[in-house]
Amino acid sequence: MPQIPRETVEQVLAATDIVDLISSYGFTVKRAGSRFVTLCPFHNEKSPSFSIDPVRQFFHCFGCKKSGDAIHFVREHENLTFIDAVKKLASRASIPIVEEAVDPKEERARRDRGRLLDLHREVSRFFHSLLLKSPDAAHAREYLKSRGFGKEMAERWEIGWAPESARTFLDWAREKGVRGRDLVNSGLAIQRDSGGLYIRFRDRLMFPIRNDHGDVIAFSGRQLREDPRSGKYINSPETTLFKKSNVLFALDRSRKGIMNEKAVLLCEGQIDAIACHEQGIENAIAPLGTAFTPQHAKILKRYTKQALLCFDADSAGYTAAERAFRELAGEDFSVRVVRMPPGEDPDSFMQKNGTDAFRALLGEALNFFDFKIEHAKSNGGLSGPQERAAFTRDCAELLSVVSDAVSRDAMINHVATRLRTGVPELRSAVADVARKGATRRKFERRREEEPEPAAVVEPVPLDRRIGTLCALALHSTEARDWLAEQFENIHEIEKQLEGVAILRAILSARPDPTSPASINSFLSGLPEGQRLALQQEPSFSENLPDDPVTSAEQTLADASALALEKEDAQIKAALNDPDLGIEEQIKLLQRAKEIAELIGGLQGRALTTDRFAPSARGKRSENPWKKGDFRDERKP
């Protein structure tokens, strides 16, 4: 896999203010002393337990215990990989990213992906220039005008026109030096059996499809002249760039609007989403020629937990609303449905009635089950006992997909009241459906031999004294340098106390304690279990003591004493073994005598229990083992 150099990660973190970053996601951040607080983005709470340290550029939630730097916030909030999170922050700070390829295949794939992105960008510009300037595209411009859109809208969305003549497109591609293989790999062309190329899009209004970063990755083409042999809309096929289940039209433009409105407006088609944006409704998106998928719901969960469904008022729109509800409810969304008049979509409705009337429709959206019940009433779905029973079973099946138990129970009570049926009976029906569904999914997983979900990474064990030493080494140059000289002491402790490997990593890497970016970059490079253990250590987020070196000395002495006591207990247990040989007994007794002397040398020494409390300054204490040099390979 390609890797981003640590220097670049450090540069990105240095250019990112974590308070501004978290505020940009729409959270209300308030100062509380030297820190900032807000409601935790990762769990439901009424009073803020999410703390942001502007000095260390670090966040910590005292409720759910999540913590980390700016990169980890973006990873958790947007469900991104480490590399994608770094790229996102780098783009925000205008920092170029150069990945270090460690695999020739990965490097080749990266180059191919870059070439396809370049091709899509150039093709989009070509189609757009034809729409604006070509005499042959006059009917495409007239179509846009008939929908109430002008040149400005076409420029904002880079709408284009695919020429009717394949020769026009191929001549352009040849002039640009585009390879036929890339046209096929991009989905813009199909390889004929005869060896020639068939151009997929002809005489169509072209809508660029973009990823989250705004890169063109595919196209959607709308038919301009009726042709029964072809669909009204055709999309690019799935490619290495474009996976329909992972892409939502206009999401790159809608993220800020979704967070501002605290809800997403899900439309049926691209024109409807564009019409909403053109009228200032900037939280509108649309799927792309496919049903709403579980991955779509996971993507939207990064930005909101509220969804408004705005589909056509026909059977297809009703079915689409139910499918979307299933996926959204499974991710704990609150779902409402906008009731469109028959024969209208957002675009046509706003043209006839204006934007304010459409906003009023949005405000009157019904929660999903009220919408479903009203639809059933108007279509005879509740006209008799049999119909009512079938409808109740249908509601139970939909209620079973709601992931949040509290929300599900509230919905069960509401639906039972509306249908005038017993709450216990409906709850039992929902539980029965959920059980059958779980059994079916388990069987399907076995049949398809799906891999088990990845195990949740747990923090590695970390003794609190070692955690304190790690925090001191990260945040104090003097304490780190002193600890780096205690090679043999630390080596002995490692045999008895957990987490010393993390301390060794700190002393070897030597991140700059004065630079939060350097510290956070180092933490990002640790194995996840070590990072979690360290960032959940209480002393990690506390203030540095007045005398870090003295605190380090006292803590190391305390750790040494504990390690000696553990070793002494192990020796005593071994001496009780009746099968122990005489030579081994002598060795153990000699070691026990040495330990007793070492522990005696530690008695009476002031060892603070609060490692980060200010301590009295005085003569540095000797440690029970002789000094070594941890930095033997790093000395000048």
Residue 545: predicted pLDDT: 86
Identify whether residues 431 and 316 lie together within a single domain.
yes
Identify whether residues 306 and 387 lie together within a single domain.
yes
Residue 202, domain extent: 104-242
Burial class (CB in 10 A: 0-12, 13-18, 19+), 443: exposed
pLDDT at position 636 over 50: no
Average pLDDT, the chain: 84
Residue 291: predicted pLDDT: 75
pLDDT at position 422 over 60: yes
Residue 67, domain member (yes or no) = yes
The better pLDDT of the pair 610, 209 is held by 209
Residue 247, domain member (yes or no) = no
Residue 205: predicted pLDDT: 95
- Strand-pairing partners, residue 197, are 191
Residue 614: predicted pLDDT: 37
CA distance 74 to 81: 9
Identify whether residues 271 and 382 lie together within a single domain.
yes
**In this predicted model, what pLDDT tens digit does every residue of 393-411 receive, in sequence order?**
999 999 999 988 889 999 9
Quickly list DSSP for 470-489: HHHHHH-HHHHHHHHT-HHH
Could you tell me the pLDDT band of residue 524, with boundaries at 50, 70 and 90?
confident
pLDDT at position 632 over 70: no
Could you tell me the pLDDT band of residue 45, with boundaries at 50, 70 and 90?
confident
CA distance 343 to 365: 18
Q: What is the identity of the amino acid at 382?
A: L
Residue 119: predicted pLDDT: 95
CA 614 to centroid of chain Cα atoms: 40
Cα angle 288, 292, 293; round to 5 = 110
Which alpha helices (H) appear in 449-476, and where do they start and end?
A: 464-475
Separation in Å, CA 29 to CA 20, 22, 35, 38, 49 = 9, 8, 10, 5, 12
Residue 631: predicted pLDDT: 37
Residue 582, domain member (yes or no) = yes
Identify whether residues 595 and 477 lie together within a single domain.
yes
Residue 276: predicted pLDDT: 94
Which CATH number does the domain housing residue 230 bear?
3.90.980.10
Are 261 and 336 in contact, with CB atoms under 8 Å apart?
no
Are 349 and 319 in contact, with CB atoms under 8 Å apart?
no
Identify whether residues 201 and 80 lie together within a single domain.
no
pLDDT at position 382 over 70: yes
- Edge-first strand order for the sheet with 67-68 is 30-32, 35-38, 50-53, 58-61, 67-68
Residue 612, domain member (yes or no) = no
Identify whether residues 215 and 158 lie together within a single domain.
yes
pLDDT at position 515 over 90: no
**Sequence-ordered list of residues with C-beta below 8 angstroms from that of 104, at least 6 positions apart, any chain:** none
Identify whether residues 183 and 282 lie together within a single domain.
no
Q: Give the largest CA-CA distance in the chain.
A: 104
Q: Where are the beta strands (DSSP E) in 180-228?
A: 189-191, 197-199, 204-210, 216-223
Which letter does DSSP use for residue 543 in this model?
P
Could you tell me the pLDDT band of residue 269, with boundaries at 50, 70 and 90?
confident
Residue 252, domain member (yes or no) = no
Could you say which of 179, 210, 242 is where a domain stops?
242
pLDDT at position 277 over 80: yes
pLDDT at position 605 over 60: no
Could you tell me the pLDDT band of residue 106, with boundaries at 50, 70 and 90?
low
The better pLDDT of the pair 170, 613 is held by 170
The better pLDDT of the pair 137, 578 is held by 137
Residue 173: predicted pLDDT: 94
**Sequence-ordered list of residues with C-beta below 8 angstroms from that of 335, at least 6 positions apart, any chain:** 307, 309, 324, 325, 328, 329, 367, 368
Domain count, the chain: 4
CA distance 193 to 116: 23
Residue 195: predicted pLDDT: 74
Residue 81, domain member (yes or no) = yes
Identify whether residues 421 and 395 lie together within a single domain.
yes
pLDDT at position 634 over 50: no
Report, as an integer, the average pLDDT of 379-403.
Answer: 88
Are 375 and 381 in contact, with CB atoms under 8 Å apart?
yes
Residue 119, classed as helix, strand or coil, is: helix
pLDDT at position 337 over 80: yes
pLDDT at position 2 over 60: no
Residue 236: predicted pLDDT: 92
Report, as an integer, the average pLDDT of 245-264.
Answer: 89
CA 32 to centroid of chain Cα atoms: 27
Residue 51, domain member (yes or no) = yes
Are 263 and 304 in contact, with CB atoms under 8 Å apart?
yes
243-257, 291-305, 336-350, 534-548: least confident range: 534-548
63-77, 173-187, 287-301: least confident range: 287-301
Residue 116, domain member (yes or no) = yes
Identify whether residues 313 and 440 lie together within a single domain.
yes
Residue 263: predicted pLDDT: 93
Residue 340: phi, psi to the nearest 5?
Answer: -85, 140
Could you tell me the pLDDT band of residue 456, with boundaries at 50, 70 and 90?
low
Residue 35: phi, psi to the nearest 5?
Answer: -120, 180
Nearest Cα to 366, choosing from 314, 418, 292, 416?
418
Are 101 and 135 in contact, with CB atoms under 8 Å apart?
no
Could you tell me the pLDDT band of residue 613, with boundaries at 50, 70 and 90?
very low
Nearest Cα to 407, choosing from 468, 460, 334?
334
Residue 615: predicted pLDDT: 38
Identify whether residues 73 and 171 lie together within a single domain.
no
Q: Pick the most confident of 343-357, 440-454, 501-515, 602-616.
A: 343-357
CA distance 263 to 257: 8
Identify whether residues 350 and 389 lie together within a single domain.
yes
> Residues, the chain, total?
636
Identify whether residues 275 and 295 lie together within a single domain.
yes
> Percentage of the chain with pLDDT > 70?
89
The better pLDDT of the pair 381, 429 is held by 429
CA distance 35 to 54: 6
